[in-house]
């Protein structure tokens, strides 16, 4: 497909979905751990094809929010909607099968399995019993993340960049429509994070909607058209990266830490 045709079809898709509503939405989501309220009435709408960056200080509730979107955590109040369907009471596996998946902040590959086996297992889990289809998805995912060359290496033998790429490959093998990335750039060198950035942009160009939590704001700015800032369990800013980074409430949320 040429870039022009792809752009035309994506803008048609975006326009079409704009009429139909957001691909992913949280409405007044609150989450507690015991007596501690970690998310307070969080509402967010993500449109098909967007690449949204989520920022916020440590402990803001970013990972908890992703956990709630994918069904690892259940809100005490509020709803999560995916492709117009209320999925609040669906399991994580159901949401994954429909195309909503996240990567983990701390990659936890199966250490004694090879890279290929790790990705294949993710594909089998997402696509049910068809091992042939799962095999194809696994190979496609490893091709995209440029990991075919290390496909026979065991999880425990991988360095940080490869563990992050494996985490991404496992998510891709489920054929996501919406991909939630939790600090996938953290701890990488400049060159490594640029490599990852190119992969993530290419996924977005392929039509995958991406929501990306990242502390490395300059990296996120290179990819995201919109920033959302979470602080103390609430969304305190939502807009263009320039608007959000210039917002005094965002600056003061980071006081005591720093906006890198």
Ligand X SMILES: Nc1ncnc2c1ncn2[C@@H]1O[C@H](COP(=O)(O)OP(=O)(O)OP(=O)(O)O)[C@@H](O)[C@H]1O
Pairing type for strands 178-182 and 100-102 reads parallel
H or E element at residue 236: strand 234-239
Q: Whose Cβ is closer to Mg ion: residue 63's or residue 174's?
A: 63
Distance CA 157, CA 235 (A): 39
The only residue of 24, 26, 29, 38 in contact with ligand X, by rule CB under 6 A: 38
Site stretch for ligand X (CB under 6 A), options 45-53, 56-64, 123-131, 216-224: 56-64
- Regarding 61 and contact with ligand X (CB under 6 A), the answer is yes
Smallest gap from Cβ 156 to ligand X, in A, equals: 24
By CB under 6 A, is residue 2 in contact with ligand X?
no
- CA-closest candidate to residue 173, choices 194, 150, 144, 193: 144
CB atoms within 10 A of CB 237: 20
Among 63, 90, 145, 169, the residue binding Mg ion under the rule CB under 5 A is 63
Of 1, 2, 5, 58, the one binding ligand X by CB under 6 A: 58
Partner from ligand X, Mg ion, none binding residue 103, C-beta < 5-8 Å depending on class: none
Position 60 contacts ligand X (CB under 6 A)? yes
Work out whether the CA dihedral 70, 152, 196, 254 comes out positive or negative.
positive
**Burial call 174-210: b when 16+ CB within 10 Å, e when fewer:** bbbbbbbbbbbbbebeeebbebbbebbeebbeeebbb
Confirm or reject binding of residue 68 to ligand X (CB under 6 A): no
Residue among 22, 49, 56, 185 that touches ligand X (CB under 6 A): 56
| Residue 107 touching ligand X (CB under 6 A) | no
Dihedral class, residue 57 (left if φ above 0, else alpha if ψ from -120 to 50, else beta): beta
The minimum distance between CB 188 and ligand X, in angstroms, equals: 16
Token representation of residue 19? 């009429």
**Whether the Cβ atoms of residue 223 and residue 204 lie closer than 8 Å to each other:** yes
Of residues 63 and 204, the one with the C-beta less far from Mg ion: 63
Q: Tokens in use for 27?
A: 């409405």
Q: Which does 114 bind (CB under 5 to 8 A by kind): Mg ion, ligand X, none?
A: none
Nearer to ligand X, 33 or 129 (CB): 33
The span from the CA of 48 to the CA of 15, in Å, is 9
**Nearest distance from C-beta of residue 253 to Mg ion, angstroms:** 15
Question: What residues make contact with ligand X under the rule CB under 6 A?
Answer: 33, 38, 56, 58-64, 105
Q: Would you tell me which residues interact with Mg ion (CB under 5 A)?
A: 62-63, 105
């Amino acid at each position: 497909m040429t870039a022009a045709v792809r752009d035309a079809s994506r803008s048609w898709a975006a326009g079409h979905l704009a009429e139909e509503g957001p691909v992913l939405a949280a409405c007044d989501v609150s989450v507690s751990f015991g007596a501690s309220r970690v998310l307070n009435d969080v509402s967010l709408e993500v449109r098909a094809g967007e690449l949204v960056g989520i920022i916020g200080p440590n402990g803001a509730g970013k990972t908890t929010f992703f956990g709630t979107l994918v069904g690892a955590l259940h809100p005490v109040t509020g709803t999560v909607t995916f492709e117009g369907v209320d999925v609040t009471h669906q399991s994580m596996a159901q949401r994954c099968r429909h195309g909503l998946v996240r990567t983990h902040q701390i990659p936890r590959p199966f250490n004694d399995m090879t890279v290929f086996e790790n990705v294949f297992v993710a594909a089998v889990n997402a696509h049910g019993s068809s091992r042939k289809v799962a095999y194809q998805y696994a190979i496609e995912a490893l091709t995209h993340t440029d990991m075919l060359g290390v496909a026979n290496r065991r999880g425990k033998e991988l360095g940080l960049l490869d563990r992050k790429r494996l985490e991404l490959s496992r998510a891709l093998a489920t054929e996501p429509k919406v991909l939630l990335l939790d600090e996938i750039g953290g701890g990488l060198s400049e060159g490594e994070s640029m490599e990852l950035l190119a992969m993530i942009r290419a996924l977005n160009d392929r039509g995958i909607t991406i929501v990306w939590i990242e502390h490395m704001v300059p990296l996120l700015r290179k990819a995201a058209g919109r920033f959302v800032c979470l602080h103390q369990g609430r969304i305190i800013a939502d807009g263009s990266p320039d608007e959000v980074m210039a917002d005094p409430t965002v600056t003061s949320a980071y006081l005591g830490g720093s906006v890198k």
